[in-house]
Amino acid sequence: MTAVKIDVESKAVKKRIKSLSRNLKNVHQPLEECGLVLVRSITKNFKIGGRPTKWKPSKRATQTGGKTLIKTARLLRSITKKVIGKVLYVGTNVKYAAIHHFGGKIKKNATVKKHWRYMDQAFGKPIPARNVLVASHKRQMNTQIEARPYLRVQNSDWRIINRIFNDHVMGSK
């Protein structure tokens, strides 16, 4: 077996190794920086409409000319980062986030509240226009939601994250 033995006797080298070791223990700052990179990248996913593969446009976006997953931008604005100990969490607390990210079927009974509806046709035939009070009622929902993975780490993000940690360990920051 071939081996290389490095004997470190220099005070400067020992000091540098101690410094690098200390930098490895305190990862809060680089994790915060990585969190910012990921939140920016996820925001870009929303603005572009999916990366690296574009999302299938939603019915609403197609009908209104809007963007998929950005009706009120609540989901987009809810993306946050948090560092706890040596762990970085990036995500959202919005209830409907998972179904949009992973896709799936929504099957439930919804209660429709009493409301007014404007009617100017019935059974496809025109009628005199009027407002009608619709009573509260139950309605069966059965909807398929396409998967639109927005919490994705891009290859370019990994390169930036690597650079952040390299700079941190080597003491550049």
Is the per-residue pLDDT at 1 higher than 80? no
* Residues spanned by the domain of 30: 18-94+150-173
> What span, in angstroms and rounded, lies between the C-alpha atoms of 44 and 124?
43
Closest listed residue to residue 163, CA positions, set 154, 173, 153, 151: 173
Q: Tell whether 4 is covered by a domain.
A: no
* Predicted confidence (pLDDT) at residue 3 exceeds the cutoff of 50: no
Asked whether residue 3 is domain-assigned, the answer is no
- 133, 159: one domain: no
Whether 139 and 66 map to the same domain: the answer is no
Q: 130 phi and psi, to 5 degrees?
A: -165, 160
pTM of the predicted model, to two decimals? 0.73
At residue 8 the predicted structure's pLDDT band, cuts being 50, 70 and 90, is low
Instruction: Report the percent of the chain where pLDDT is more than 90.
Output: 70
pLDDT tier at 6, thresholds 50, 70, 90: very low
Same domain, 47 and 125: no
Q: What is the pLDDT of residue 85?
A: 87
- Residue 12 Cα distances to 15, 20, 25, angstroms: 5, 12, 20
Backbone angles phi, psi at 7, to 5 degrees: -100, 120
Task: State the pLDDT confidence band at 16, using cuts at 50, 70 and 90.
Answer: low
Of residues 169 and 44, more confidence is placed in 44
What is the per-residue pLDDT for 165? 85
Q: Are 158 and 87 members of one domain?
A: yes
The answer for 59, left when phi > 0, alpha when psi is -120 to 50, beta otherwise, is: alpha
Whether residue 157 sits in one domain with residue 76: yes
Residue 127 forms part of a structural domain = yes
Identify whether residues 37 and 89 lie together within a single domain. yes
Same structural domain for residues 57 and 122?
A: no
In a domain, residue 2? The reply is no
Residue scoring higher pLDDT (11 or 33): 33
The tens digit of pLDDT for each residue in 122-150 reads 999 999 999 999 999 999 989 999 999 99
Domain assignment present for residue 41? The answer is yes
As a whole number, mean pLDDT of residues 106-135 equals 94
For 61-91, the pLDDT digits (tens) are 999 999 999 999 999 999 999 999 888 999 9
